[in-house]
Structure 1
Amino acid sequence: MDNGFTRLEKTSFDAYNESEVLVTAVRRYYDRYGYYPESVLADKIYRNRNNINYCIARGIRLSGPALGRPKKNEIRDKQLEYKDNADCVEVERSFSQLKRCFAWAYSQRNGKIQH
């Protein structure tokens, strides 16, 4: 989200692995603003070794749990995890609203009125 606006980086009706879009989306962000984002809120599918290493190399915090088993003496920032989760819910809500709006508009254009 960018000041209340959602930016879609890729749409496709073909099957593809969403995790492959992260690097391209971050590069586009850099091209638009001239700096990398402080953090990336992502679903679990985006947390693979390539994406994690890419973000670490650029000082980007990739939200979500670490890969593998939790470490015994790991100290987690629960407030940060809660905020990331709340922000993810907000983003997912905006996607849901977009899907409903576009589905409604599509059904109106094609004479398929659904209530």
Structure 2
Amino acid sequence: MAIIITDECINCDACIVECPNNAIYEPDQDWAYSDETELSGMVTSLDGEEIDADEQHDPISDEFYYIVPEKCTECKGFHDEPQCAAVCPVDCCIPDESHVESEEELLKKKAWLHAE
């Protein structure tokens, strides 16, 4: 499953540099699949949908840092545990129960994001 940042976030910036998928964004910041990934232009998503990886999407939160679930792999293939949760001083990076994925799915997402 993906990780979510709760509203207890103090916007300390510790998590953002730790994310290997650039799935964490500042409050009120637009996001794109192509941000710090190998994706660019029109690509086929893991569910077979054609998407523009460079398209800017509206922020998920305008109050605190947020994680884009479509880009979060829980650091599978990079680290043994989610790095955002490991460095969070207020423990607000928690499993997102609404985005449950198997380890295999997370590793496929990692490969897709980084063109492996």
TM-score range, shorter chain: under 0.3
Q: What is the TM-score with the length of structure 2 in the denominator?
A: 0.26
Which structure has more RCO (C-alpha within 8 Å, separation ≥ 6)?
2
> Which has more strand, going by share of residues?
2
Q: What is the TM-score with the length of structure 1 in the denominator?
A: 0.26
> Which has more helix, going by share of residues?
1
Structure whose CA Rg is larger: 1
